[in-house]
Structure 1
Amino acid sequence: MPHPTRPGFGIMTAPAQVHYEDVLRVWREADAIPEIEHAWLFDHLMPIGGDPNGPAYEGWTLLSALAARTGRLRLGLLVTSNRFRPPAVLAKIAATVDVVSGGRLDFGIGVGSRPGHPSARREYEAHGLPFHDTAEAVARLAEACTVIRRLWTEDEPFDFHGEHVRLRGAFGNPKPVQRPHPPILVGGRSSATLRVAAEHADLWNIPGGDVADAARRSALLDRYCADVGRDPTAVTRSIQLPVSYDRPRLTRDAIGEAVDAGFRHVVLGLPAPYPAGVGEWVADVLINTWS
């Protein structure tokens, strides 16, 4: 049976344990394939899988380079760690990428790595970055979303006196190309993060695999939207699903399950190494045949 609202599909290429040329090849292939609407990187400063001393590219720098070499794909980080960069600096970086891309940025942001994930936790210590407890990190995320939106939209300098973010004479110029601002995607599954999404997100993303759990999280987001007086349908539901090159039926089944659960923004995580012509394979074998 055809689905009433066809989802939009994108790809994720984790920028670790790969070469720049490999990622660029895949993105340029995808840019020419209409079925692939968006493309994503992650935001880690060191590998979180494979060789711990392998290459890992800085996400926003790489995103800007890819934005300059593509012309159609919407693009972003799934998701920016709010722990890495002060929010006013992040707003400036993101506005720059939106300009470079001609208005194609989807701004993904989240709390940051889980405290119990040692391979992710080490990147903070290795780069001299503080790792706040979860409650503080979520509060910082909410303030960051507020500040970033104001820097993108307000025409006069302003002061901000939050519990964690304090700015004097803050002003963003240039503004993003997109008006009123790039779509904000909040990523995460915790109840606290879902409350932030209900308040600030245009899209909400959950890393995939367990679609039943994602559906339960989505229902909780509905409740939180109602709590703040927001229409739950205003927040597009997004899910990242792992791709199996050898067993594509598993991926197609997961897509169908996710769409049936209300997810209309599907990100297909491509494992490296990327096969030749992987963009066409994704379109032909996954996107055009999942239903």
Structure 2
Amino acid sequence: MTPSLTPRFGIMTAPSQVDYHDILRVWREADAIPEIEHAWLFDHLMPIGGDPNGVAYEGWTLLSALAAHTRRLRLGVLVTSNRFRPPAVLAKIAATVDVVSGGRLDFGIGVGSRPGHPVARREYAAHGLPFHDTAHAVGDLAEACTVIRRLWTEAAPFDFDGTHVRLTGAFGNPKPVQRPHPPILIGGRASSTLRVVAEHADLWNIPGGDIRDAVERSALLDRYCAEIGRDPAAITRSIVLPVSYDDPGATRNAIGEALDAGFPHVILGLAPPYPDNVARWVAEELITPSRAHHTA
């Protein structure tokens, strides 16, 4: 994957408090609109907003269905909680989705929900999943990235004896369609996570909202890359920006700030209910004018 400062716009439809067919409608619309290059889901097993007992679809299962219903969009989960699935199982799931999509997967992964986010944290206890401390979770993420890449690329079974991950006779087949493997996007802003980003990521994602913080975190990532001898420009900077249907001008301003700050991979978060023809609206009201302004 060759990073580029050319803006690449996508959408995110959080698969919660919404009907499957509404998400499918938006993705099918977006698949026919070249200005929208990528589309994303999130990875929560219970709602983190709205009715706490409302609908929340499992991200990777839904992504596979949407992959089968689209032909052009790059697609991914923003971001997979590494706390939910053993890494070798996740590697198998992701390779399957890359095959189903014909090689369109961007592999998004992160540590998992913040310890101080009780609404998100409850889903771990509700599903019998452990919630280790941050140091454990970050170490687990680094080992997971190593193991997943090896399962995607190595031609023979291998053993892995890490601090957190231990595998015997590990082997991945089928391999992903993309060679050497799908691009790896890591999400997060913590310093410890950024060290993992520097070593393993092709893209780094941060939520929008405070562009100065995003710029400071990006500079810290540059420093961590330099410490390990990696070119910081090898990691594309990605940002999530919420879309205002009522005030598109504010969203365009946020996009402009992000592009000027060196974040060319822009993910526009769409809140349900989705208006009719929302993908076309995003292209005409947000992407086209932002791209024109940026290249003017």
TM-score, normalisation: structure 1: 0.98
The residue aligned with 1:107 is 107
Distance 1:252 1:213 in 2: 19
The residue aligned with 1:49 is 49
The residue aligned with 1:146 is 146
Distance 2:47 2:66 in 1: 20
Distance 2:209 2:125 in 1: 30
Distance 1:183 1:90 in 2: 15
The amino acid across from 2:69 in the alignment is R
The residue aligned with 1:121 is 121
Q: Could you report, residue by residue, the CA deviation over 1:212-262 in whole angstroms, capped at 9, with x for unpaired residues?
A: 111110010000000111000000000000100001111100000001110
Distance 1:60 1:156 in 2: 26
Q: Secondary structure at the match of 2:237?
A: strand
The amino acid across from 2:213 in the alignment is D
Equivalent residues in 2 for 1:254-265 (5 A)? 254-265=254-265
Q: Secondary structure at the match of 2:273?
A: coil
The amino acid across from 1:159 in the alignment is D
Q: Secondary structure at the match of 1:130?
A: coil
Runs (4+) of structure 1 exceeding 6 A deviation are: none
The residue aligned with 2:161 is 161
Distance 1:169 1:286 in 2: 49
Distance 1:187 1:181 in 2: 18
Q: CA RMSD in A?
A: 0.8
The residue aligned with 2:13 is 13
Q: Secondary structure at the match of 2:174?
A: coil
Distance 1:98 1:73 in 2: 12
Q: Secondary structure at the match of 1:167?
A: strand
The residue aligned with 2:136 is 136
Matched, 1:219 2:213: no
The amino acid across from 1:182 in the alignment is P
Aligned length: 288
Equivalent residues in 2 for 1:21-36 (5 A)? 21-36=21-36
Structure 1 residue 6 displacement after superposition: 3.1
Q: Could you report, residue by residue, the CA deviation over 1:150-176 in whole angstroms, capped at 9, with x for unpaired residues?
A: 000000000000000000000000000
Structure 1 residue 5 displacement after superposition: 4.2
Q: Which runs of 5+ in 1 are unaligned?
A: none
Distance 1:10 1:216 in 2: 24
Distance 1:242 1:12 in 2: 9
Equivalent residues in 2 for 1:201-240 (5 A)? 201-240=201-240
Q: Secondary structure at the match of 1:169?
A: strand
The amino acid across from 1:90 in the alignment is L
Q: Which runs of 5+ in 2 are unaligned?
A: none
The residue aligned with 1:243 is 243
